[in-house]
């Protein structure tokens, strides 16, 4: 009795190029010739959400404080985000994806995995499907997207970043071994700066350097992450594309121009945040699916804490108590407060949530 070979997956990772900025440049062509960033104002402790490639040449990056970005690029044009416009573009892009497969896993407004293993278009060629998707996004939405094509999610994600912007990279099954061998270990999922430094200290620079380490050795050195390193350095990633459009949380937050000096000042901000959260909850029709209440506090030293509790309904007094608990952890001036709810998935009473 023969055992059937496992199905060879065909995964596409699509990622729009500087999405928010691209939408703005689409609508105002003059912005294509200048360094552009989407984010908050410098005098209000704003942060860069994204920027175009001209701005990136000056060292501007997402998550960078706007004040720092302006020091690097004094001529930087900064625009406030227009989320409704970006959501419309995102829905158009998702509709394009779903013309090819129902197995679409959105990661954000502008990024998604697609499993096209069973797709019939282009005789099932994932490469040609990805090419057509990118062409349609350019024609129908007016922005560019990059794509990676590979046998699994990990490799597809890596591939989509190789020829950015407006490019594509394909890793065929028989190319996986050679591709992964020279991949820097810092590119592996779960490897941050601290883990990368530890790997380098052990003489591990590329994935091929990991191959001589046994699974027990990696588990001993890195705990649970060791198991992931063992698989990924061999190009193995068995995660499936999870097609889900269910919302898992609703939240609102505010970054304050001036720090909130104490707990009383934080509590005084709750009614306004709560009213905003109620509106968001009603707009998203999430009232009947509340599973948890959550708060987020970012202190003036940029350390952050979250507190949550189980609840099936919004309650302002509960948010106040959660903020009291969170504030006691550091008792410093506060630069950001957030309130949120976690939503239960269907048939899943243990769904976690939030920020």
| Residues carrying an active site annotation | 111
* Tokens at 258, concatenated: 């001036």
The verdict on whether residue 75 carries a ligand-binding annotation is: no
Quote the CA–CA distance of 251 and 237 in Å, as a whole number.
32
Give all strands (DSSP E) within the chain, no chain letters: 11-16, 36-39, 48-51, 77-79, 104-108, 111-115, 145-150, 168-170, 249-260, 290-299, 304-310, 334-343
Cβ pair 61, 51 in contact under 8 A: yes
110 assigned binding-site residue = yes
Q: Is the peptide bond before 148 cis (omega within 30 degrees of 0)?
A: no
Separation CA 26–CA 76 (nearest Å): 18
Beta bridge partners of 306: 296
d(CA 24, CA 136): 19
Distances (CA, A) of 4 to 51, 117, 215: 48, 17, 27
User: Cα–Cα distance between 272 and 265 in angstroms, integer?
Assistant: 13
Please state the residue numbers annotated as binding site: 15, 110
Please state the residue numbers annotated as binding site for Mg(2+): 15, 110
């Amino acid at each position: 009795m023969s055992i059937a070979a496992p199905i060879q997956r065909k995964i596409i990772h699509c990622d729009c190029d500087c999405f928010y900025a691209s939408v703005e440049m689409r609508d105002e062509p003059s912005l294509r010739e200048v360094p552009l960033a989407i984010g908050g104002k410098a005098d209000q402790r704003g942060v860069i959400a994204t920027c175009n490639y001209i701005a990136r040449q000056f060292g501007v990056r997402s998550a960078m404080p706007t004040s720092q970005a302006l020091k690097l690029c004094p001529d930087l044009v900064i625009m406030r985000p227009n989320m409704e416009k970006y959501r419309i573009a995102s829905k158009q892009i998702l509709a394009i994806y779903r013309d090819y497969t129902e197995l679409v896993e959105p990661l954000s407004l502008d990024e998604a995995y697609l499993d096209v293993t069973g797709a019939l278009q282009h005789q099932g060629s994932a490469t040609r499907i990805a090419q057509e998707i990118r062409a349609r996004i350019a024609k129908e939405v007016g922005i560019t997207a990059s794509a990676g094509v590979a046998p699994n999610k990990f490799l597809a994600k890596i591939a989509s970043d190789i020829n950015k912007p407006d490019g594509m990279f394909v890793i065929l099954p028989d190319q996986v071994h050679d591709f992964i061998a020279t991949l820097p270990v810092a590119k592996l999922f779960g490897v941050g700066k601290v883990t990368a430094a530890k790997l380098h200290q052990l003489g591990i620079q590329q994935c091929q350097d990991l191959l001589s380490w046994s699974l027990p050795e990696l588990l001993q050195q890195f705990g649970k992450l060791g198991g992931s390193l063992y698989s990924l350095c061999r190009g193995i990633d068995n995660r499936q594309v999870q097609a889900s459009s269910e919302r898992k949380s609703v939240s609102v937050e505010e970054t304050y121009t001036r720090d909130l000096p104490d707990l009383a000042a934080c509590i005084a901000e709750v009614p306004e945040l709560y009213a905003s959260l109620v509106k968001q909850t009603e707009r998203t029709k999430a009232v009947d699916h509340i599973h948890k209440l959550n708060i987020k506090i970012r202190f003036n030293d940029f350390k952050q804490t979250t507190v949550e509790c189980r609840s099936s309904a919004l309650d302002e007094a509960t948010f106040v108590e959660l903020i009291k608990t969170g504030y006691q952890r550091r008792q410093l001036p506060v630069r950001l407060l957030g309130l949120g709810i976690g939503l239960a998935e269907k048939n899943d009473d243990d769904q976690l949530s939030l920020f």
